[in-house]
């Protein structure tokens, strides 16, 4: 946190000295960006791209990226959401499971989801599909968008509120345990495009699905790293405010990328590419595992669309990037000064739990990391020993012993390979899992912070309302009727704002709760899966070791 | 501080050389050893039927310096020039455990109780391993002396075995140390010169070439093996992981907790197996290589002495010729020459015998150790396999 504060301060300083003009200049290679686009070269104090875990929060902070969506689109989204909510409520309130109502609802859902699609045909096709099979999939999609809003704005009867909330949550949980996920994503085929400092790696993202909201059953596109970051930005802008836990993308790494760009064909750069590819795959898999994120049109576009516009806002030192950093700094300061009146103890204790767990996982990760390094070292030493034993065998005059020694060298060779494979497993199964979860826990923490921010906004609105009321009272007392109307208008405005924010806060609270529960279930499942997988890899290695030595034994016995 | 006296382990310990206690007339072993700070006190126990000893069975305490003294006196005895003198046991090296103890003491405040106890256990195990090794090496030294027909009769050896009180071996003072150092340097320079001397005997020519080459390779192999077994610290990491998992589990309150605890248990057990794997590899392979590096050096020393004798003989020939030319001191020169020839012949004869038996000994020792190491490694790997299989089943069923 301190690091980010410092950075924030530096950039504030920078801002004061020179205005930032995020203009596009001719492309120049620069090691501070992934893509090699132009950034201001007079910034010499900057991140070297190697972000610590804390700085990763860069991508989850409040961003001004609402502006990426046009005002109209945003309104349209809200409007559609509202319509759907009212239909849903209508359905519940009247206990009417009538077909035409269902049909209407499905059509609305399809419209909402596919309003980004330009082709009318696809719209008709999807509508047809929904009409003909109202399977659990369709139901799933209904639950999806409404999950992001437990409350509605149009319910006159407050008695209905609790039932909607509980029903939605139950349904959601039921949905997740029952439904098998019919969407498989793989990230493969890293290819280097271009040369020199402008080069980048392009990855093939293949999707295989039976979900009807996609155009095809299997399809693939090529994406580059900045596209993934851009996706994260977009999702984060829309969903983090609602209190969702957004999976963080893999970290930027200037050192790793530079090596790849420069064209060093050694094992470390190959390892880096593999590490990144696996991380991107896990990232996407986590995104689509989240029910409301899957419904997001940006996600679908990312998976389906052939050509994505370049996401230039993801560079560390672009204009928006700097603004982000400043926001982060101010957030950090805010965090320290906000003291929330927690009515629900659950949140406080949960946050504490999350923070503790993050610490513990970090330590565990460090231990696994050192295991990986030691195994690699052992691997190297075994290789060296093998050569030495082979030489000894060649000098040995007793022929049987000589043969045995060269066989021993072979055993050492196989052991070296085993060690290397095991180190590989150690890393990709265990270490990366732990690193991912440390970052995910950071995202969970951000989620809680979002809720706090919403609460803070509510508090501010309430105090403003209070002030307006006091102003009105004063005016009444001072008997100035012209200004009174203005004051009354103000009060009305702020009253509605306060009630809006109250609802927002309720909604966010509800979402955060749900998200945390879902996250914990997923985490337990993930860990269990990976631990078993890791132990199986260890088992495999030990099996091979037994075979190695058993093959050597007769040779050793044959010495005479 | 620590003492050992396990009979079953003794058999396993005698690994670098073939069982040397075949001859019941003189049986030596080291059943016990005490470690006080820096010094290790070995209890040398002898059982004998030879009349040259006062009692049929007796024990004496000896220190490492006493062994060194014995070795040096034997090396300096002219009579034994034709024999391969068993290499002196290396000084007990408790550096590794001592370092660890240091680290343990320093890090005590930062570790949890369980971690501390575990590290302490580890430390004790390492200490024990070093201890066992050094006892074994000293024992083998004595056993080789006792099984050799000439050395067992050596008066100094008998004193070493019998003498009740402290041998109060004077440690070499600075001058003697320096003298010894200087002698070594002269010797190596000599070796270079002498390796150029033309060898008459085919056998020795072959041996010389072989031994020179072999000694380089085995020294290299020993160094690499040491490096590898030292870096086999996987057990340490498993320990830390297990500890961290336990910590994480302690904090957790869900069904997840049981998984973490089980996983921590698995790592803990794996640690023990990995530890044994690494230490067995060390004991069998690395120790074997280390021992034979020293032994090869002893064989080379023999060759050196013989070559020295040959050079002396040739010099005496030259001197005789010169004397004959000059016409004086001829008898003396003749006498000298005869002696040199005698010495050289004796050395050649015994040298041949020694080197042949050395060859056989080496092959047998390698065979024994390699077989033992392989069997142990298979056993440990199979242990790991069953351990992992069991744990995977439990975790999957949960």
Half-sphere CA count of A3, side-chain side, radius 13 A: 12
CB < 8 Å to A385, chain B: 221, 224-225, 227-228
Half-sphere CA count of B279, side-chain side, radius 13 A: 19
Does A389 sit within 8 Å of B366, measured CB to CB?
Answer: no
For B163, phi then psi, to 5°, come to: -55, 120
Pairing state of beta strands B57-63 and A183-193? unpaired
Chain A and chain B share a number of CB contacts under 8 A equal to 155
Residue A187, both tokens: 């990230």
Give the pLDDT score at A160: 35
CB distance A213 to A297 below 8 Å:
no
Half-sphere CA count of A462, side-chain side, radius 13 A: 10
* Tens of each residue's pLDDT in chain B, 398 residues: 444 333 334 434 444 445 555 567 888 888 888 877 777 888 888 888 888 888 888 888 888 888 988 998 898 888 888 888 888 888 888 777 787 788 778 877 776 777 778 778 878 888 888 888 888 889 889 988 888 888 888 888 888 888 877 766 665 566 667 776 777 777 777 667 666 666 677 888 888 888 888 989 999 999 999 888 888 877 778 888 888 888 888 877 777 788 888 888 888 898 888 888 888 888 888 888 999 999 998 988 888 888 888 888 888 888 888 888 888 888 888 888 898 888 888 888 888 898 899 988 889 989 998 999 999 999 999 999 999 999 999 888 87
Give the pLDDT score at A78: 54
CB distance B194 to B311 below 8 Å:
yes
Give the pLDDT score at A104: 54
Query: Which residues does residue A191 pair with via DSSP β-bridges, in sequence order?
Result: A202
DSSP state for residue A220 in the 8-state scheme: E
User: Cβ of A83: how many Cβ atoms within 10 Å?
Assistant: 15
A398/B contact by beta carbon, under 8 A? yes
Sign of CA dihedral A543, A545, A551, A556: negative
User: How far apart are the C-alpha atoms of B250 and B242, rounded to whole Å?
Assistant: 12
Rounded to two decimals, the ipTM of the complex is: 0.82
CB distance A205 to A284 below 8 Å:
yes
Does A401 sit within 8 Å of B225, measured CB to CB?
Answer: no
CB < 8 Å to B251, chain A: 353, 356-357, 360
Q: What is the CA radius of gyration of chain B?
A: 27
User: How far apart are the C-alpha atoms of B76 and A75, rounded to whole Å?
Assistant: 102
Give the pLDDT score at B382: 93
pLDDT at A550 over 90: yes
CB distance A160 to A92 below 8 Å:
yes
User: How far apart are the C-alpha atoms of B144 and B19, rounded to whole Å?
Assistant: 10
Q: Which residue spans within A107-217 are E strands per DSSP?
A: 183-193, 200-209
Residue A99, both tokens: 């077909």
Cβ within 8 Å of residue A106, ≥6 positions away: A127, A130, A131, A134, A138, A142
Does A559 sit within 8 Å of B367, measured CB to CB?
Answer: yes
Give the pLDDT score at B10: 40
**Mean pLDDT: which of A342-346, A400-404, B89-93, B130-134 is highest?**
A400-404
CA distance B394 to chain A (A): 10
The DSSP H or E segment spanning B42 is strand B39-48
pLDDT at A35 over 50: no
Q: Which of A228, A272, A276, A253 is nearest to A47 (CA)?
A: A253
Among A378, A404, A528, beta carbon nearest to B259:
A528
Residue A62, both tokens: 């409040």
DSSP state for residue B285 in the 8-state scheme: I
User: How far apart are the C-alpha atoms of B259 and B190, rounded to whole Å?
Assistant: 68
Among B217, B377, B392, beta carbon nearest to A395:
B217
User: How far apart are the C-alpha atoms of A358 and A351, rounded to whole Å?
Assistant: 11
CB distance B253 to A521 below 8 Å:
no
* Mean pLDDT, range A379-404, rounded to an integer: 91
Q: Which of A59-73, A79-93, A507-521, B302-316 has the lowest mean pLDDT?
A: A59-73
Sign of CA dihedral A82, A87, A92, A93: positive
Sign of CA dihedral A451, A454, A460, A462: negative
- pLDDT digits 0-9 by tens, A79-88: 555 555 554 5
Give the pLDDT score at A312: 64
Place of tokens 């102003």: A471
Q: Which of A127-141, A326-340, A424-438, B187-201 has the lowest mean pLDDT?
A: A127-141
Pairing state of beta strands B39-48 and B26-36? antiparallel
Q: What is the CA radius of gyration of chain A?
A: 29
Angle between helices A345-395 and B234-251 (to 10 degrees): 170
* SS3 state at A263: coil
Give the pLDDT score at B385: 93
Half-sphere CA count of A355, side-chain side, radius 13 A: 9
pLDDT at A340 over 80: no
CB distance B383 to B273 below 8 Å:
yes
Q: Which of A194-198, A498-502, B317-321 has the lowest mean pLDDT?
A: A194-198
CB < 8 Å to A398, chain B: 359, 363
- Residue A430: closest C-alpha in chain B: B241
Does A368 sit within 8 Å of B366, measured CB to CB?
Answer: no
* C-alpha of B250 from chain center: 46
Strand order in the sheet with A200-209: A183-193, A200-209, A218-224
Chain B contact probe: residue of A369, A376, A381, A401 with most B CBs at under 10 A: A381
Q: Which of A313-322, A471-480, B203-212, B264-273 has the lowest mean pLDDT?
A: A313-322
* Mean pLDDT, range A153-174, rounded to an integer: 39
* Mean pLDDT, range A136-144, rounded to an integer: 36
A557/B contact by beta carbon, under 8 A? yes
pLDDT at A431 over 60: yes
User: How far apart are the C-alpha atoms of A479 and B183, rounded to whole Å?
Assistant: 117
A438/B contact by beta carbon, under 8 A? no
Mean pLDDT of chain A: 71
Give the pLDDT score at A546: 93
Chain B contact probe: residue of A386, A519, A545, A557 with most B CBs at under 10 A: A545
Does A395 sit within 8 Å of B214, measured CB to CB?
Answer: yes
Give the pLDDT score at B294: 92
Give the pLDDT score at B18: 52
Place of tokens 């008066």: B155
- Residue B231: closest C-alpha in chain A: A378
Residue A428, both tokens: 């990709």
User: How far apart are the C-alpha atoms of B321 and B317, rounded to whole Å?
Assistant: 6
Task: Using CB atoms within 10 Å of the CB of residue A16, give its burial: 0 to 12 exposed, 13 to 18 middle, 19+ buried.
Answer: exposed
Interfacial A residues in 354-393 facing B (CB < 8 Å):
356-357, 360-361, 363-364, 367-368, 370-371, 374-375, 377-378, 381-382, 384-385, 387-389, 391-392
CA terminus-to-terminus distance, chain B: 46
CA distances from A498 to A22, A283, A447, A455, A487 (A): 36, 37, 22, 11, 16
CB < 8 Å to A378, chain B: 228, 231-232, 234
CA distance B211 to chain A (A): 10
DSSP state for residue B80 in the 8-state scheme: G
Q: Which of A56-60, A514-518, B199-203 has the lowest mean pLDDT?
A: A56-60
Among A357, A392, A400, beta carbon nearest to B217:
A392
- Residue B359: closest C-alpha in chain A: A398
Higher pLDDT pick, A494 / B181:
A494
CB < 8 Å to B389, chain A: 539
Q: Which of A53, A44, A34 is nearest to A194 (CA)?
A: A34
Does B251 sit within 8 Å of A535, measured CB to CB?
Answer: no
Cβ within 8 Å of residue B70, ≥6 positions away: B145, B156, B157, B160
The DSSP H or E segment spanning B40 is strand B39-48
Does A553 sit within 8 Å of B374, measured CB to CB?
Answer: yes
CB distance A126 to A114 below 8 Å:
yes
* SS3 state at B154: coil
The predicted model scores a pTM of 0.71
């Amino acid at each position: 946190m301190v690091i980010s504060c410092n950075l924030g301060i530096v950039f504030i300083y920078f801002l004061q000295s020179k205005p930032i003009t995020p203009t596009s200049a001719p492309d120049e290679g620069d090691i501070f960006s992934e893509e090699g686009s132009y950034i201001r070269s007079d910034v010499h104090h900057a991140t070297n791209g190697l972000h610590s875990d804390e700085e990763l929060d860069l991508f989850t902070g409040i961003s001004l990226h609402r502006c990426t969506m046009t005002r109209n689109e945003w309104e349209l989204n809200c409007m559609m959401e509202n319509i759907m909510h009212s239909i849903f409520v209508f359905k519940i309130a009247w206990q009417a499971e009538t077909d035409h109502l269902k049909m209407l609802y499905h059509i609305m859902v399809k419209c909402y989801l596919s309003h980004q699609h330009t082709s009318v045909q696809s719209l008709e096709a999807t509508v047809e599909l929904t009409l003909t099979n109202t399977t659990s999939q369709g139901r799933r999609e209904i639950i999806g968008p409404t999950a992001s809003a437990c409350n509605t704005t149009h319910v006159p009867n407050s008695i209905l509120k609790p039932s909607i909330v509980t029903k939605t949550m139950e349904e959601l949980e039921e949905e997740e345990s029952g439904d098998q996920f019919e969407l498989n994503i793989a990230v493969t085929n890293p290819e280097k495009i271009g040369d020199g400092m402008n080069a980048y790696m392009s990855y093939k993202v293949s999707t295989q699905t039976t979900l009807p909201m996609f155009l095809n059953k299997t399809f693939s596109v090529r994406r580059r790293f900045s596209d993934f970051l851009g996706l994260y930005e977009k999702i984060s802008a829309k969903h983090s405010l609602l209190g969702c836990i957004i999976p963080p993308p893999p970290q930027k790494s200037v050192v790793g990328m530079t090596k790849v760009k420069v064209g060093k064909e050694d094992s470390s750069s190959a390892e880096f590419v593999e590490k990144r590819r696996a991380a991107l795959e896990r990232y996407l898999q986590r995104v689509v595992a989240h029910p409301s994120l899957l419904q997001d049109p940006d996600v679908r576009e990312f998976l389906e669309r052939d050509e994505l516009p370049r996401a230039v806002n993801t560079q560390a030192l672009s204009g928006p990037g700097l603004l982000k950093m400043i926001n982060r700094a101010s957030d950090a300061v805010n965090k320290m000064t906000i003291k929330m009146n927690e009515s629900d103890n659950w949140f406080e204790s949960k946050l504490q739990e999350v923070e503790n767990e993050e610490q513990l996982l970090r330590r565990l990760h460090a231990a696994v990391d050192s295991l990986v390094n030691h195994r690699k070292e052992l691997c190297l030493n075994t290789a060296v020993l093998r050569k030495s034993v082979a030489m000894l065998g060649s000098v040995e005059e007793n022929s049987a012993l000589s043969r045995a020694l060269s066989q021993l060298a072979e055993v050492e060779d196989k052991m070296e390979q085993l060690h290397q494979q095991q180190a590989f497993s150690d890393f990709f199964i265990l270490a990366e899992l732990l690193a991912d979860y440390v970052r995910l826990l950071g995202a969970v923490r951000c989620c809680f912070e979002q809720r706090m921010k919403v609460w803070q906004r509510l508090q501010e609105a309430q105090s403003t309302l209070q002030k307006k009321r006091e102003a009105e009272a004063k005016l009444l007392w001072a008997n100035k009727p012209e200004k009174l109307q203005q004051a009354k208008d103000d009060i009305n405005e702020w009253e509605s704002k306060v009630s809006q924010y109250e609802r927002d806060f309720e909604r966010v609270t509800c979402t955060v709760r749900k998200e945390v529960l879902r996250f914990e279930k997923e985490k337990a499942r993930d860990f269990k899966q990976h631990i078993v997988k890791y132990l199986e890899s260890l088992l495999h290695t030990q099996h091979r070791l037994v075979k190695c030595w058993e093959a050597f034994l007769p040779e050793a016995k044959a010495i005479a | 501080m620590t003492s050992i006296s396990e009979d079953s382990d003794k058999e396993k310990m005698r690994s670098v050389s073939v069982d040397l206690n075949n001859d019941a007339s003189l049986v030596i072993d080291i059943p016990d050893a005490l470690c006080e700070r820096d010094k290790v006190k070995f209890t040398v126990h002898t059982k004998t039927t030879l009349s040259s000893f006062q009692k049929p069975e007796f024990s004496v305490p000896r220190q490492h310096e006493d062994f060194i003294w014995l070795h040096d006196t034997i090396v300096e005895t002219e009579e034994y020039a034709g024999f391969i003198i068993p290499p002196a046991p290396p000084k007990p090296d408790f550096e590794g455990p001592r370092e660890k103890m240091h680290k343990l003491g320093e890090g005590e405040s930062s570790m949890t109780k369980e971690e501390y106890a575990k590290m302490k256990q580890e430390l004790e195990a390492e200490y024990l391993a070093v201890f066992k090794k050094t006892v074994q090496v000293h024992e083998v030294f004595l056993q080789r002396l006792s099984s050799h027909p000439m050395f067992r009769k050596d008066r100094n050896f008998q004193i070493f075995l019998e003498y009740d009180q402290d041998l109060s071996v004077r440690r070499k003072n600075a001058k003697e140390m320096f003298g010894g150092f200087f002698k070594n340097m002269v010797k190596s320079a000599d070796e270079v010169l002498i390796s150029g001397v033309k060898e008459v005997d085919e056998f020795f020519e072959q041996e010389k070439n072989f031994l020179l080459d072999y000694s380089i390779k085995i020294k290299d192999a020993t160094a690499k093996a040491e490096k590898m077994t030292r870096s086999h610290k996987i057990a340490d990491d498993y320990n830390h992981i297990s500890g961290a998992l336990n910590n994480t589990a302690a904090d957790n309150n869900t069904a997840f907790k049981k998984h973490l605890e089980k996983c921590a248990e698995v790592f803990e057990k794996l640690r023990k197996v990995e530890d044994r794997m690494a230490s067995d590899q060390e004991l069998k392979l690395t120790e074997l290589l280390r021992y034979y590096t020293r032994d090869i050096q002893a064989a080379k020393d023999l060759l050196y002495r013989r070559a020295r004798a040959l050079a002396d003989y040739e010099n005496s020939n030259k001197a005789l010729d010169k004397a004959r030319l000059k016409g004086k001191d001829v008898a003396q020169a003749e006498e000298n020459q005869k002696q040199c020839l005698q010495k050289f012949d004796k050395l050649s004869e015994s040298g041949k015998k020694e080197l042949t038996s050395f060859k056989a000994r080496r092959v047998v020792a390698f065979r024994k150790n390699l077989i033992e190491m392989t069997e142990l490694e298979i056993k440990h790997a199979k242990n790991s396999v069953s351990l992992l299989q069991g744990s995977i089943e439990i975790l999957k069923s949960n």
